[in-house]
Chain A
Amino acid sequence: MSEQEPVKSIVTPTRTEYTFTPGPSAQRYLRALVSGRLIGETCPSCKKVYTPPSGACARCGVATEGEVEVSDRGTVTTFCIVRVPSENIDLELPYCSAQILLDGADSSFFGLIQECPWDEVRMGMRVEAVWKPKSEWGPSAENIRYFKPSGEPDVPFEKIKGSI
């Protein structure tokens, strides 16, 4: 036995398939995206607006309700410059991913920042969505290609610190 090479690896092919259904809130959100609208839902208890809505207010543990249209403009609450590749992400390195507090929402929204030098991206920076051509819109978050600086004055930290 001692003269034999140890078995160092085996290959066990595995594949599992799922048919995911996202629930009523995410469905409403995705359907609104088809017509270029960003919607959120309100917590009946604390009145916070969540975009995208998951159907629940995680703070209160109650179902969100009411469809609220939010803006495609917002404020960068936090960001990072990504310099490492990932198999699942087909983006040129480096790129900037950011959390954006959309006007009218209380939860931050994930987006990419472009058309801005990396060393100028900052918390509090105002940005606006750059959409794909209308003919390419579908029920997908990818309708928004990225966010770019809107040129509006920065928002002070005090005003966004509760939403980071």
Chain B
Amino acid sequence: MRDVAIASFAQTRYVRSQVRLTEVDMLMPVVQEAVKLSGIPKREIGFTCHGSSDYMAGQSFAFVGAVDALGAWPPIAESHVEMDGAWALYEAWVKIQCGECDSALVFGFGRASMGKLRETMNLQLDPYTLAPLGLDAISMAALQAREMIDAGKITEEQMAKIAARNRAVAKDNPNAQVTGDFEVEKLLAEPYLVSPLRVHDCPPISDGVSAVVLAAGDAIGRGESKPVFIRGIDHRLDSHQLGGRDLTLSPSTKRAGQEAGVHDGPVEFAELHAPFSHQEVILVEALELSGDVLLNPSGGALAANPMMTAGLTRIGEAASRIAAGKAGRGIAHATSGPCLQQNLVCVLEGE
């Protein structure tokens, strides 16, 4: 295995509705910043991969439009995944492992505010038997939360505490969208949005972009910040059919965590992509994280959930924490699909 490092990370502030700028307008400064911080000249970057979904923009080939932000001339080697940018990072990591390049630019973007995200998320379901039932983003998660409560794995109070904790630590994250101190009692007095979920259990709808530059070989260590190494990375998936799995468990996260070597060293912190409060508990169990592990120091997806790049942002936030010397080793997780269907785990460590 080649040593692959995260050389740089850049992101926008996440906002509820970015009506002033297009995706390309948002991407240009972020991509430029990530490339500059990596210390690798743009023309030397060997591969570019991004994650997005045309359903967010409501335009076919919106993902191709994003290439306008890159200055892809002379022509570059480029690819795209219709998934969170974390999976674009995985593709780039594989390219580097294959020896096809020594560096890669990875980004993800989403402007979900243009559509009706709850309904848009219905379109990812099996169109024959599931989508016609009218499940949306919140009701799918609510089914999972209900199963958790019925199984005795969580209470509504614990869910409110998770939401409050994430948004309280997010006060230190200048890019977060929903931050502040919330009293659990007051949160529990709020009405249900879709029982058993209240508004605080759900992620905000966020517009924004983020970008990472990967480096290997001679490309490592050319930037301003210390390189943070990917010690392990793996992704797995569970059944697409919500009725075909136990929604209180995440075997795919568990397996990805084992394959990535989460416990091959101390886990000081974890950036978990848990858009709904109860999902944090499922992930903590699947990854066998002890109570000592600092969870979501950035505030996680409950503080900002830019569709198609919230997972990549978890990796970037985790790398930034290590690069800043605040931790030596930690993990980042990304999810995609309904009710934690697909999961990626990345183990990061400083020099």
Q: Is the CB of A16 within 8 A of B21?
A: no
Max chain A CB contacts within 10 Å: which of B20, B25, B55, B127? B25
Question: A17 is contacted by which of B24, B57, B116 (Cβ under 8 Å)?
Answer: B116
Q: Is the CB of A23 within 8 A of B21?
A: yes
- Chain A proximity of B107: nearest CB distance (Å): 12
Return the chain B residue nearest A21 by Cβ: B19
Question: A59 is contacted by which of B22, B71, B115 (Cβ under 8 Å)?
Answer: B71
Q: Kindly count the residue-residue contacts between A and B in the assembled complex, taking CB atoms under 8 Å apart.
A: 79
Question: B73 is contacted by which of A10, A12, A59, A63 (Cβ under 8 Å)?
Answer: A59
Stretch in B62-70, B92-100, B245-253, B291-299 with 4+ CB within 8 Å of A: B62-70
Size bracket, chain A contacts: 20 to 34
Q: Is the CB of A16 within 8 A of B72?
A: no
Return the chain A residue nearest B111 by Cβ: A21
Q: B31: which A residues are within 8 A, CB to CB? A: 61
Judged by a CB distance under 8 angstroms, whether B131 is at the interface is: yes
Judged by a CB distance under 8 angstroms, whether B28 is at the interface is: yes
Q: B72: which A residues are within 8 A, CB to CB? A: 58-59, 61
Interface size in chain B (residues, C-beta < 8 A): 32
Cα–Cα, bound, A20→B57 (Å): 8
Given the known A-B contacts A16-B123, A17-B116, A18-B115, are A56 and B131 also in contact in the complex, defined by CB atoms under 8 Å?
Answer: no
Cα–Cα, bound, A16→B119 (Å): 7
Judged by a CB distance under 8 angstroms, whether A14 is at the interface is: yes
Q: B127: which A residues are within 8 A, CB to CB? A: 12
Cα–Cα, bound, A16→B131 (Å): 13
Judged by a CB distance under 8 angstroms, whether A74 is at the interface is: no
Q: Is the CB of A16 within 8 A of B25?
A: no
Q: A18: which B residues are within 8 A, CB to CB? A: 57-58, 114-115
- Chain B proximity of A54: nearest CB distance (Å): 6
Q: Is the CB of A24 within 8 A of B131?
A: no
Judged by a CB distance under 8 angstroms, whether B191 is at the interface is: no
- Chain B proximity of A143: nearest CB distance (Å): 22
- Chain B proximity of A12: nearest CB distance (Å): 5
Given the known A-B contacts A16-B55, A54-B68, A56-B69, are A63 and B25 also in contact in the complex, defined by CB atoms under 8 Å?
Answer: yes
Judged by a CB distance under 8 angstroms, whether A19 is at the interface is: yes
Q: Is the CB of B73 within 8 A of A24?
A: no
Q: Is the CB of A19 within 8 A of B128?
A: no
Q: Is the CB of A24 within 8 A of B20?
A: yes
**Extra pairs beyond A14-B131, A56-B69 (18, CB < 8 Å):** A16-B115, A16-B123, A17-B115, A18-B57, A20-B57, A20-B114, A22-B22, A23-B24, A23-B25, A54-B22, A55-B24, A55-B25, A56-B25, A61-B31, A61-B42, A61-B70, A63-B25, A63-B28
Residue pairs across A and B with Cβ atoms less than 8 A apart, 8 shown, are A16-B115, A18-B58, A21-B22, A23-B20, A54-B65, A55-B24, A60-B71, A61-B28
